[in-house]
Structure 1
């Protein structure tokens, strides 16, 4: 079954967030052409079309998609996949706040953890504060994640 058809079927049984994450993931992996995206948009329920209009091709994980969608719902605008000098590319930036969403892949061992901490230290040297969230936090502890972000934004 073509990816575009699978996504239309998924729209009928997944939550809005899960559908959005699947759509952005397919787009990021270059599995959807412009005409595919238009075809999908014309076949999904109206409530999902606004999500497709918000979708971007640069979300490297479903967790990034979900967090960005949740922050949008509370009126927080952020920049995605930002190159921070001395640090590298980060998932999100809101003013001087960096948000990183760490899935298990690539962040589970001590070497990867050290690399992340070094990036955070370099970001702090450049005047940024970094908040990191893993899968369990993003998916199962939404109030804590939102509270941490809002708290950090109040401090600026």
Structure 2
């Protein structure tokens, strides 16, 4: 059985968001050809369309995948692994102004990693970006909080444009409850 077939069958026992996380990881590691995604067969047609449109091979962790989906579903523009001069790649760049970093303990526990994160945060601040940093528990327990925080920063910094407001309003009307995070039996 191929990787795609296994991850397709995962639709039977995972939420749509969990399936996106699995597909993101497989794509990022080169285990899966993105050309196969339209051939997913399990789950409802709406679920399959949503999963295929939500997958992004640039995600380097499940935390990034979850945060990206939450932010995009809220109607915000998100660039995963955005390259910023003098800093390098950041996990997520939201609306061109807010950097969201999702920090798993495994890659941010050593002193040198901790210091490097602080250096990056300072450089981002000097370059005019707002940085929001989340630990794995924050992302897994309350991913909606990331959206609330990003919107608050956009608003307080004067970066809350009419386009952002329209996108947030449209997303709220269209998506309703966070259906993509419900158990597989509902889809």
Q: Settle same-fold status: TM greater than 0.5.
A: yes
Deviates more, 1:80-89 or 1:49-58: 49-58
Number of the residue aligned with 2:103:
102
Aligned-partner Cα distance in 1 for 2:7–2:144: 29
1:93 aligns with 2:99: no
Number of the residue aligned with 1:151:
152
How far apart are 1:146 and its partner, in Å?
2.5
How far apart are 1:43 and its partner, in Å?
4.1
1:140 aligns with 2:141: yes
How far apart are 1:44 and its partner, in Å?
4.0
- Equivalent positions of 1:3-152 (< 5 A) are 3-40=3-40, 42-46=41-45, 47-94=47-94, 95-152=96-153
Q: Show CA shifts across 1:107-155 (max 9, x none).
A: 1122211110110001111111111112100110234323221211112
Aligned-partner Cα distance in 2 for 1:36–1:97: 33
Which structure 1 residue ranges, 5 or more long, are not aligned? none
Aligned-partner Cα distance in 2 for 1:88–1:31: 25
Aligned-partner Cα distance in 2 for 1:139–1:34: 26
Aligned-partner Cα distance in 2 for 1:34–1:51: 12
Query: How large is the Cα RMSD of the aligned pairs?
Result: 1.6
Aligned-partner Cα distance in 1 for 2:144–2:82: 25
**What TM-score, normalized by structure 1, do the two folds share?**
0.90
Inter-CA distance 88–35: structure 2 relative to 1 (3 Å threshold): closer
Per the alignment, in what secondary structure is the counterpart of residue 106 of structure 2? coil
